[in-house]
Structure 1
Amino acid sequence: MKSIIFSLAFIFIAFVGTSNTFAPTKKATIVIKTESIQCGMCKERIEEALLQEKGVKYVTVDVDKKETTVTFNPKKIDADAIKKAISAVGYDADDIAAETTAYEKLPTCCQKGGH
């Protein structure tokens, strides 16, 4: 009888101790103003670059609204790092200006006023 109670207690403790392991990862979503985007090529560049960032789960760029929506794991990446990644591709991201070198490498149609 004692062994049955001990076994049940062990199973209960093992189950409770590992239940947090299966908890879903928390996600956050931000919308970043990307005023410098001009066309579909801009959209593709930003989406592809952000999907390479660790922790980014989903990205969509709305060219008409000039916004980038990003869903990410805040334990792996934060909003500032996401904005810096957009800047590194050559586009403005909220208050972070595009990196000059990356911006100059963009096709003319992707530069401000180029479309």
Structure 2
Amino acid sequence: MKRHSSSSLSPRSIVFIGLVALAIAMGIGRFAFTPMMPLMVRDGSLDAVTGTEWATANYVGYLLGAISASWFARSPRLGLQVGLVGVAATTLAMAWGNAALPWVGMALRGSAGVFSA
């Protein structure tokens, strides 16, 4: 696979690639957990209060991630790679997380928010 430097891509291509990466990160980071929450509440592995705390952590993570995004101004490709890998890793970790320890889920949801932004 031939690698292109960012200068060889048209602005339209760069915008399209960025939109696809954002859709993937947001899709994994936000919408992978949403359909699982009602099932977790039904099964008793999560209660409404803990779910609300996790959602709050996720939104605080979005804010922190948006604020820290400028760190990647000189290397947006690295920022996208870190974000995509981080979202995938935190989402996978949710599958192995222990709902009996609410702070673990809150930390993972907060981290997913940071990486999504």
Interval containing the TM-score (normalised by the shorter chain): 0.3 to 0.5
Q: TM-score, length-normalised on structure 2?
A: 0.35
Structure having the higher Rg: 1
The higher relative CO (CA closer than 8 Å, separation ≥ 6) is in 2
Structure 1 length as normaliser, TM-score? 0.35
Q: Which has the higher helix share?
A: 2
